[in-house]
Amino acid sequence: MRGKTESFQFSAETLLEFSKYYREHSLEAKEDGYLKEGKNIIRRADEQAIGRKHYLRLNGNRQTHPEDGYNFRGRGLIQITGYEKYSTFQTKYNIYWSDSSPDSVNHPEIINEMPYAIRSAIWFWLYSSVYTADKGLGYNGVIAVTKKVNGGDMGLEERQNAYKLCEEVFL
């Protein structure tokens, strides 16, 4: 297992679907999203621009720090996202572990390193009380858990399908 950094490799169409900013600035979606010719990507998305424009307004990122949206994109096993979570993980770390707290604000990439990739996931689960969101509803609790983890419904259908598969395998 290892942590993974969230990719902002989105097409213009995808940016327009999920981002209020890009719906209001549709020409910028075309500039910042990746460009395809047939099945080949001929220009990668401008991930820093997407971070500055869309993600700056989310996840506790500081409005006075335009790079927060890119710098504090999802990392780790559960993908903690945003300045607020990186900062809180750093300051609350010693509630759960006795070693030195990682400097996840000045070195956000540390969240992908072990043991922090695992510990950031555990911390988020406990600190955000994600385990209470399903209220024992099983499949019907997937929506509440998704909202608690993602703040919306992006990826909801994938999670619902994964839950059904897990039910078949484990129950």
pLDDT above 90 covers a percentage of the chain that reads 73
What does the pLDDT look like over 119-159, one tens digit per residue? 999 999 999 888 888 888 888 889 888 888 877 777 788 88
- Do β-strands 35-37 and 40-43 pair in parallel, antiparallel, or remain unpaired? antiparallel
Structure-derived torsion over alpha carbons of residues 57, 58, 64, 65, reported in degrees to the nearest 10:
-120
| Residue 63: both structure tokens together | 């409005």
3-state helix, strand, coil in the chain (%, to 5): 55, 5, 40
The whole-number pLDDT of residue 103 equals 98
Q: What are the domain boundaries of the chain?
A: 74-130, 131-170
- Residue 12 pLDDT exceeds 90: yes
Would you say 151 and 58 are in contact if contact means Cβ atoms under 8 Å apart? yes
The whole-number pLDDT of residue 94 equals 96
